[in-house]
Amino acid sequence: TATSQELPLPDTTRLAERQEDLNARVHKLESLLNTYLPVLSRLQSSQNTTDDLRHRQSKHHQPQSFPANTSLIASPAEVPANISKIFEAEGYLRGKNGRKTEFVSSRHWTGLIYLFPEIYSLRNRPSSHPICYMVNQVFKHIREHTKKQKPEPLSSLVPSLSVETALRALIPAKPLASALLDVYFESFENTHRVIHIPSFKEEFEAFWRSPETLSLSWVTNLVIILRLGLLAHPDRESISHGASPEWLQRIESQGLQLAELVSHCRSSESRPSLECIQTQCLLVMARITDGSKATVAWRLAGQLIQTCLIMGLHQEPELFGGTMSIFDAEMRRRLWTAALELYIHVSRHSSMHEPFLQAQYNISRPLNINDQDLSDGMTHLPTPDLRAVTDTSYQHALSESLGLRLRLISLKPNTIRQAESTGDHCASCSLRNRLLSNAPYVPSSGKHFGQGTYDQCRHAMLCLTHQSTFLHHKLTDIFKDIGSDLHSKELVLDTCRSILSLYQHPDLSPVQRFILGRWYRNDILISVICLCLTLKLTQPNGPERCVIPPTIDPCLVQQTSKLVEDTLHILSRRRDPSQNEREEHVLLVLLFAIVKSKGVQTDIPDQLQECLKRFGLPVIPPPCDNSLGGTSDSLNPGVNLETYAPTPKSFTSADIDMVFDIDSFMSDFSLDIPF
């Protein structure tokens, strides 16, 4: 008894915490083993196959040549045997060291390339098949083009001129400027309300009577609007006839850079103005539309939101009192709604998090009224007709669903899953159904927004915004074990099909599809990749586990084939495609090479060659007996390598970054397991 009294009593709370921690570590280790064991067996099988192939080939000393239907087998030297954990870590770092890196989210389309490791075997073995040779040529052309591309120095933008003089020199003759202004109104202003159309038209006429009377901010806005109008103009040849090549080159290469320089200088002023907000909104829209890197628009949108907060646009003007005019108060509501929508959109476009969504704002929605019913000297606002189609209908519809979308974005997957039940009654599915029902009603025809009675482009943008919100929330469900939740996987795939159907709607003009492709590029490419995953066939002797239930859907093949053709055709019409567009173009080529390598019969190769030639990417027949004539278009399926994880760095460089370290991962358990 005396001995037992001297022993300290165990701390039950601490014991419970240690037991919890140990259980979690054991569960994590079991998950790791379940992930690695199938890969080790497959890796050993692949190594044996490769060794046998090398042994047979070593007896012959002639150059290596494969028949057209050779099975593509990637050796471990070609594809690093790293398990992709980007979906658990929410992303990966692109870069060779810690001084120059770029975070790529798992919700970005480049992160999903991890699920297609066969891309790298196709790229590195051009002599095995004409498709592989075509892919190799495209990569080679991109590497050469990247080396030649150098950013234009800032000093060359305004040589011996002031910024204001350089900007005014970018304004063309009045007929061309008027045509581009009308294109901007039809393509952009009716979706994102930034300027007051009647007031801007009056100032536009005043500019030609006395150019020096209008401010630098107004001239900057006009230059950005002209650039947007040039991007969205349906007849590029008519523009070429009405403008000199020198002017086209200057406004394409210098217009937005000069506008950003003016915006940066204005941001240092003590009190920003509504004109500054308009400039920043237009810059974000232009950087999305001109194909700039997604993070460029994201940084500009961050500055836009900060300027809005400094001006107090996130609070209802009536709370401050004072003598603010009705016109200014309504313009503040419009600009705040536009800025918030642009920020949310570019965050999803670049797959970055939306930290601002935790902030509080208290401001009314903009009214659903026409610009002609809003003037500077008005004493009271008109009564809006909620069922009427106005200049602000699209923005009004988006603001109506904003609360639902913010709720869906802010919900964590683990949190919402606890409240979900199976079937269509889960919380996220209910939100999605409510989002899809938010379409303005057109009383004149008795039909909804998307049934051909209204602008199809605006309808597509509205629905794509709602579908994209749901896609990014549920995307990780598609990469779970096949037996975990087939219903969630099918919901994601259904969303992907809806996104592609909206993008490929027959009522859209080529220019409208081009704009949608730029604005919803990440969502479209994610949808293509997820749907192409359904075409990945499991091997007869391979494991039964698969990322997505394997199917061969002819309608799906036809739909994604049309996506490739449309995208290549649109890209071939542009003057100076950016490097990002080239990567997008190559991704689509590679994905269809993978689809064909799995035995899906299509006639894509000939069409791709024609599109590549129009795009300026030369593809010539392979310098061997494996010419394109008389060969099969399909490849025998190779080893299932979908769990290998090469990095997407190969799209711009031959280097491969190691983004997942086994030893570092295992050190969390303080165990020494010889993998």
Q: Using one digit for the tens of pLDDT, what is the confidence trace for 387-427?
A: 777 888 888 888 888 877 877 776 655 444 444 434 333 55
Max intra-chain CA distance, the chain: 106
User: Looking at 60-64, 103-107, 212-216, 243-247, which range is the least confident one?
Assistant: 60-64
Task: Give mean pLDDT, residues 159-173.
Answer: 82
194 pLDDT band (50/70/90 cuts)? very high
Q: Is the pLDDT of residue 275 over 50?
A: yes
Higher pLDDT, 83 or 38: 38
CA 257 to each of CA 138, 149, 541: distance values in angstroms, whole numbers, following the listed order: 30, 17, 57
Find out whether 442 and 473 touch, Cβ atoms under 8 Å: no
For tokens 């670049």, the residue is 350
For the chain, state the CA radius of gyration. 28
Q: Is the pLDDT of residue 238 over 70?
A: yes
Beta bridge mates, 102 = 94
Is residue 532 packed enough to be buried (19+ CB in 10 Å), middle (13-18) or exposed (0-12)? buried
Is residue 172 packed enough to be buried (19+ CB in 10 Å), middle (13-18) or exposed (0-12)? buried
Q: How far is the first Cα of the chain from the last one, in angstroms, to the nearest whole number? A: 51
User: Looking at 269-278, 336-345, 346-355, which range is the least confident one?
Assistant: 346-355
DSSP conformation class of 614: H
Q: What is the pLDDT of residues 528-549, one digit of tens each?
A: 777 776 655 433 444 443 444 4
Q: Is the pLDDT of residue 307 over 60?
A: yes
Task: Give mean pLDDT, residues 94-105.
Answer: 74
For 118, the 3-state DSSP assignment is: helix
Task: Give mean pLDDT, residues 154-162.
Answer: 60
Instruction: Report the pLDDT value the prediction gives residue 213, as an integer from 0 to 100.
Output: 86
User: Looking at 203-212, 616-625, 649-658, which range is the least confident one?
Assistant: 649-658
Question: What is the Cα–Cα distance from 497 to 76, expressed in whole angstroms?
Answer: 35
Find out whether 537 and 598 touch, Cβ atoms under 8 Å: yes
Find out whether 585 and 568 touch, Cβ atoms under 8 Å: yes
Instruction: Report the pLDDT value the prediction gives residue 626, as an integer from 0 to 100.
Output: 41
Q: What is the pLDDT of residues 485-527, one digit of tens each?
A: 677 778 888 888 888 888 888 888 888 888 888 899 889 888 8
Q: Is the pLDDT of residue 244 over 90?
A: no
Of 554, 534, 536, nearest to 603 by C-alpha is: 554
Instruction: Report the pLDDT value the prediction gives residue 148, as an integer from 0 to 100.
Output: 61
Higher pLDDT, 455 or 174: 174
Beta bridge mates, 315 = 362
Instruction: Report the pLDDT value the prediction gives residue 619, as an integer from 0 to 100.
Output: 61
- What whole-number percentage of the chain has pLDDT above 90? 15
Find out whether 226 and 185 touch, Cβ atoms under 8 Å: no
Going from N- to C-terminal start, the domains of the chain cover 26-53+65-150+580-669, 162-374, 407-521
Higher pLDDT, 362 or 81: 362
Task: Give mean pLDDT, residues 213-237.
Answer: 90
> For residue 256, what are its two tokens?
């937005």
120 pLDDT band (50/70/90 cuts)? low
Instruction: Report the pLDDT value the prediction gives residue 656, as an integer from 0 to 100.
Output: 24
Of 597, 568, 590, 571, nearest to 651 by C-alpha is: 590
Judged by phi (left if over 0) then psi (alpha if -120 to 50, else beta), residue 426 lies in beta
For 506, the 3-state DSSP assignment is: coil
Instruction: Report the pLDDT value the prediction gives residue 585, as an integer from 0 to 100.
Output: 61
Instruction: Report the pLDDT value the prediction gives residue 561, as an integer from 0 to 100.
Output: 63
Q: What is the DSSP string of 143-178?
A: HHHHHH--PPPGGGTSTTS-HHHHHHTT---HHHHH
Instruction: Report the pLDDT value the prediction gives residue 514, as an integer from 0 to 100.
Output: 84
Question: What is the Cα–Cα distance from 29 to 35, expressed in whole angstroms?
Answer: 10
Prediction pTM value: 0.71
207 pLDDT band (50/70/90 cuts)? very high
Q: Is the pLDDT of residue 117 over 80?
A: no
Instruction: Report the pLDDT value the prediction gives residue 106, as an integer from 0 to 100.
Output: 73
User: Mean pLDDT over all residues of the chain?
Assistant: 68
Residue 129 makes CB contacts below 8 A (sequence gap 6+) with: 66, 68, 70, 72, 626, 631, 635
Q: Is the pLDDT of residue 649 over 60?
A: no
Exposure of 166 in the CB half-sphere (CA atoms within 13 A)? 21
Higher pLDDT, 311 or 575: 311
Q: Which helix (DSSP H) or strand (DSSP E) does residue 442 occupy?
A: strand 441-442
